[in-house]
């Protein structure tokens, strides 16, 4: 089964402090990138003992919870990364870091971004403050509450016999192909989104939708709901400006695809496993 979250992670939804000393994990972001250290070639977050030697300014800090009894924190910092450490975008963790590391880094990034983008009330413009009991920002004037935002999205692998449809987004580097995906619009069911997105992006009709699982996807704040769907009819017509190319592939003709740490890679692997 797809791991929806680290087995040993205990989330903390209240803005309370944990033990932030010693071996506590610090998911520290600078300019949108995670400060990492390399452990036997694998990127890992820094720990509290590392951070106390950093000459950086901490803009905000949030206790996330515990992973394997280790406290975890999300931070936004400004300054210079010390020698021996490096900044890495979250996409750079895919296929390199553990699933748990990617999941926690994504959670941390979304919490940091939520705090930074809710300093002022979107309703009346007054300053926001951290809520007393929830992970939320609250306006002292109109009492509006802003929780970390999630954007539900679908991601779907379309199959036809032993073939699968893979597409390349117009913004991706040449050679990289994946499954189709798109955001849920207001008033839609998840199933309606699948049908609409497939028709918009490649002009195909699909049926026999089968839900497989979900993944938190921090680019920037999606909750990806994964499906398999069967081809029903139509010819491939790529959406201009969105889809650069889309083709039917077999297991022996696969192009470059996402790693299995991404839900798109998992959907593809599930289909390959079904083929035996």
Q: Going by DSSP bridges, is the β-strand pair 222-233/151-160 parallel, antiparallel, or unpaired?
A: parallel
Are both 93 and 195 inside the same structural domain? no
CATH of the domain at 103: 3.90.79
Mean pLDDT of 157-173: 95
Are both 131 and 203 inside the same structural domain? no
207 in a structural domain = yes
**Residue 2: band (very low, low, confident or very high) from pLDDT cuts 50, 70, 90:** very low
Residue-number span of the structural domain to which 238 is assigned: 151-275
Tens digit of each residue's pLDDT (9 = 90 or more) over 232-241: 999 999 999 9
Are both 52 and 128 inside the same structural domain? no
Residue 4 pLDDT > 50: no
Mean pLDDT of 6-20: 63
Are both 255 and 141 inside the same structural domain? no
Are both 176 and 246 inside the same structural domain? yes
Tens digit of each residue's pLDDT (9 = 90 or more) over 52-96: 999 999 999 999 999 988 999 999 999 999 899 999 999 888 888
Count of domains in the chain? 3
Q: What percent of the chain has pLDDT over 70?
A: 95
267 in a structural domain = yes
1 in a structural domain = no
Are both 156 and 138 inside the same structural domain? no
CATH of the domain at 233: 3.90.79.10
84 in a structural domain = yes
């Amino acid at each position: 089964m797809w791991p929806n979250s680290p087995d040993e992670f205990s989330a903390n939804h209240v803005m309370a402090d944990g033990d932030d000393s010693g071996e506590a994990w610090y998911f520290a972001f600078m300019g949108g990138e995670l400060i990492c250290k390399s452990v036997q070639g694998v990127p890992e977050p820094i720990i509290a003992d590392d951070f106390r030697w950093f000459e950086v300014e901490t803009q905000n800090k949030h206790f996330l919870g515990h992973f394997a009894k280790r406290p975890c924190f999300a931070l936004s910092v400004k300054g210079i990364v010390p020698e021996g450490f490096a900044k890495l975008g979250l996409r750079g963790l895919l296929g390199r870091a553990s699933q748990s590391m990617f999941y926690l880094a994504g959670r941390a990034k979304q919490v940091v971004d939520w705090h930074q983008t809710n300093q002022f009330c979107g309703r009346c413009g007054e300053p926001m403050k951290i809520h007393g009991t929830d992970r939320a920002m609250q306006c002292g004037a109109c009492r509006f509450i802003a929780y970390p935002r999630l954007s539900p999205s679908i991601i779907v692998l379309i199959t036809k016999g032993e073939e699968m449809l893979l597409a390349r987004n117009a913004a991706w580097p040449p050679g990289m192909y994946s499954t189709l995906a798109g955001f849920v619009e207001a008033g839609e069911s998840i199933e309606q989104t699948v049908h609409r997105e497939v028709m918009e992006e490649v002009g195909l009709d699909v049926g026999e939708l089968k839900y497989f699982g979900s993944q938190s996807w921090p680019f920037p704040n999606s909750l990806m709901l994964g499906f398999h769907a069967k081809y029903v009819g139509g010819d491939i017509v790529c959406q201009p400006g969105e889809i650069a190319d889309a083709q039917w592939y077999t297991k022996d003709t696969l192009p470059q695809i996402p790693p299995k740490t991404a839900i798109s890679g998992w959907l593809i692997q599930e289909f390959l496993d079904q083929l035996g």
